[in-house]
């Protein structure tokens, strides 16, 4: 795929497992990663649909991707995960066994498969030392699940039958769903214990975090065309056009500490999404994903009010992005 490229480049990918196989796709599609929860199955649906889930007030399909990829059908467990993805035209969930990591990789390590993939779900093969993963084309997956002729599920083949069915597991899945529904409705953390997945990024020596739920994509600064806008605050770098949408890009370090970020080969833009708005922030580099139990986070009360709030977990200091405070500042928007 990218062996023809002579210039070094990096992109963020999510790596996950299905049975004994490793797969990956671009992390720009990831909206959320959650534990398996109770799903709705109101009527007979195509075999590849394991059920429906209400996500941000919208009912979305949860896909058994093994059915799409023609892999052996095996039962899911309470440890299974759902990756909520957003393509150009749709939002849907993918059932997987486990998430290995989200990290930036050298795209030169993506290899062309030895056959034509224009009509395939396979996009490339990633290899690194003793590890390999198949990179799937999520846009082709989306086309397949939305263009498939409706065929009522064979009662013996429905993906919904692969979900845990014993009483104890069903009760736990139900509790998880209630927990998730309360989180989505903004119930305080004191009421329900929660662990959320965050993406880390770097500003100078600071380790910053943002909930993966709010991340709409990652882009290398060198690969986007930034258009300067006159008569705007100096922390506004300009606007970029991404997938037909114009997005304001800010220097977050300049915005919070009045220090200008140094642009390097690792400089990236994270597109943050909140309600109907998107905003790009300049970062020194993208880090890893981490799970944070918010009941274990201790806020440093002496830190000055900011959209980056200081928290300590264990012995590590993190700056967690306050999405509401950031998006509430009218100075960020270019009209």
The full set of domain ranges for the chain reads 10-184, 195-332
56 sits in the region (left: phi over 0; alpha: psi -120 to 50; else beta) called left
pLDDT at 175 > cutoff 50: yes
Q: How confident is residue 152, by pLDDT bands cut at 50, 70 and 90?
A: low
Topology of domain 10-184, CATH: OB fold (Dihydrolipoamide Acetyltransferase, E2P) (2.40.50)
CA angle 138/144/150 to nearest 5° reads 145
How does the average pLDDT of the chain come out, rounded? 80
Q: How confident is residue 35, by pLDDT bands cut at 50, 70 and 90?
A: confident
Q: pTM of this prediction?
A: 0.57
Count of CB atoms situated within 10 Å of the CB of 228: 9
Topology of domain 195-332, CATH: OB fold (Dihydrolipoamide Acetyltransferase, E2P) (2.40.50)
- Domain 10-184 shares a fold with domain 195-332: yes
| Residue whose entry in the numeric block shows the structure tokens 């304001």 | 248
Residues 6+ apart with CB under 8 A from 286: 12, 104, 199, 200, 201, 218, 268, 270
Share of the chain above pLDDT 90, in %: 10
Q: What distance lies between CA 8 and its chain's CA centroid?
A: 24
Count of CB atoms situated within 10 Å of the CB of 148: 13
Do 281 and 268 touch, CB atoms closer than 8 A? Answer: no
Terminal CA-to-CA distance of the chain, rounded, Å? 39
* Per-residue model confidence (pLDDT) at position 116: 67
Alpha-helix residue ranges (DSSP H) falling in the chain: 65-69, 138-147, 167-184, 252-257, 323-327
Give the residue from 203, 249, 252, 260 showing the smallest Cα distance to 226. 249
């Amino acid at each position: 795929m990218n062996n023809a490229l002579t210039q070094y480049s990096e992109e963020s990918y999510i790596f996950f497992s299905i049975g004994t196989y490793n797969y990956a796709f671009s992390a720009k599609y990831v909206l959320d990663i959650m534990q398996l929860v109770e799903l709705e199955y109101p009527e007979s649906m195509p075999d590849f649909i394991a059920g429906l889930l209400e996500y941000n007030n919208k009912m979305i399909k949860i896909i058994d991707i093994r059915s799409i990829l023609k892999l052996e059908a095996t039962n899911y467990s309470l440890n299974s995960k759902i990756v909520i993805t957003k393509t150009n035209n749709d939002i849907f969930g993918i059932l997987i066994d486990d998430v290995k990591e989200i990290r930036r990789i050298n795209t030169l390590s993506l290899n062309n498969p030895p056959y034509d993939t224009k009509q395939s779900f396979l996009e490339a093969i990633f290899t690194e030392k003793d590890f390999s993963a198949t990179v799937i084309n999520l846009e082709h997956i989306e086309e397949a699940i939305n263009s498939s002729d409706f065929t009522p599920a064979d009662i013996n083949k429905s993906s919904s039958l692969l979900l845990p069915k014993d009483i104890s597991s069903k009760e736990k899945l139900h509790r998880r769903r209630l927990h998730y529904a309360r989180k989505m409705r903004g119930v305080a953390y004191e009421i329900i214990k929660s662990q959320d997945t965050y993406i880390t990024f770097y500003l100078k020596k600071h380790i910053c975090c943002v909930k993966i739920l709010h991340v709409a994509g990652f882009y290398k600064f060198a690969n986007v065309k930034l258009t300067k806008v006159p008569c705007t605050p100096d922390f506004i770098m300009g606007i970029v056009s991404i997938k037909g949408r114009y997005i304001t890009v800010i220097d977050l370090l300049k915005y919070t500490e009045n220090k200008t970020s140094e642009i390097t080969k690792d400089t990236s833009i994270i597109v943050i999404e909140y309600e109907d708005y998107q905003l790009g922030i300049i970062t020194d580099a993208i880090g890893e994903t981490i799970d944070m139990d918010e009941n274990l986070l201790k806020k440093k009360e002496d830190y000055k009010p900011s959209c980056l709030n200081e928290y300590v977990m264990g012995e590590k200091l993190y700056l967690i992005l306050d999405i509401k405070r950031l998006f509430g500042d009218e100075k960020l928007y270019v009209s």
